[in-house]
């Protein structure tokens, strides 16, 4: 007998594919086109092992695109979340995950390097908290006469 799939099943599998791309590759590298999403959704519907195979492929892609953490079971999301919080503390606002600076932070995976990057880019981009914190640090070091 032939299996019939409702549009709800199709949409559900497409949402599963999108969620897996987001989890394993993030918003930049995981931004797949609709035909790729539809293709993988079809595979997931037809093959009981399709999702596991898709995840393995995404793990390989994550290792290639975001080096530095060779543990295949660490997803982009696992790597990015701590840097989102780190950036939030430094800038006092949420960082844009699609910003090349944020992608660099994930690849760096180094608090000292990323702290310096956030400081430099925060000053360059006139981020209020960074500018205020820097002025306060300069005033504390050199006195109130520094403007």
Over residues 43-95, the pLDDT tens digits come to 999 998 999 999 999 999 999 998 888 899 999 999 999 999 999 999 999 99
- Cα 25 to Cα 65: distance, rounded to the nearest angstrom: 8
The pLDDT value given to residue 69:
84
Residue 18 tokens read as: 């999108």
The pLDDT value given to residue 36:
95
Number of domains in the chain: 2
Whether residues 54 and 92 fall in one domain: no
Give tens-digit pLDDT for 9-45. Answer: 678 899 999 999 999 999 999 999 999 999 999 999 9
Instruction: Tell me, yes or no, whether 81 lies in a domain.
Output: yes
Instruction: Tell me, yes or no, whether 95 lies in a domain.
Output: yes
Whether residues 84 and 133 fall in one domain: yes
Whether residues 18 and 59 fall in one domain: yes
The pLDDT value given to residue 74:
95
pTM, 2 dp: 0.81
Residue 144 has pLDDT above 80, yes or no: no
Residue 1 has pLDDT above 60, yes or no: no
Q: In which domain, by residue range, is 40 found?
A: 7-65
Instruction: Tell me, yes or no, whether 2 lies in a domain.
Output: no
The pLDDT value given to residue 11:
84
Instruction: Tell me, yes or no, whether 105 lies in a domain.
Output: yes
Neighbours of 8 (CB within 10 A): 8
Whether residues 47 and 18 fall in one domain: yes
Whether residues 89 and 117 fall in one domain: yes
């Amino acid at each position: 007998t032939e299996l019939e799939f409702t549009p709800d099943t199709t949409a559900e599998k497409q949402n599963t594919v999108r969620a897996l791309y987001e989890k394993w590759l993030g918003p930049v590298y995981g931004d797949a086109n609709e035909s790729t999403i539809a293709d993988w959704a079809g595979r997931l519907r037809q093959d009981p092992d399709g999702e596991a195979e898709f995840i393995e492929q995404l793990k390989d892609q994550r290792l290639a695109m975001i080096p530095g953490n060779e543990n295949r079971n660490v997803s982009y999301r696992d790597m990015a979340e701590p840097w989102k919080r780190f950036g939030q503390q430094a800038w006092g606002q949420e960082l844009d995950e699609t910003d090349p600076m944020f992608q660099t932070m994930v690849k760096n995976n180094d608090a000292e390097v990323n702290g310096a990057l956030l400081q430099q880019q925060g000053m360059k981009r006139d981020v209020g908290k960074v500018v205020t914190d820097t002025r306060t640090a300069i005033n504390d070091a050199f006195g109130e006469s520094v403007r």
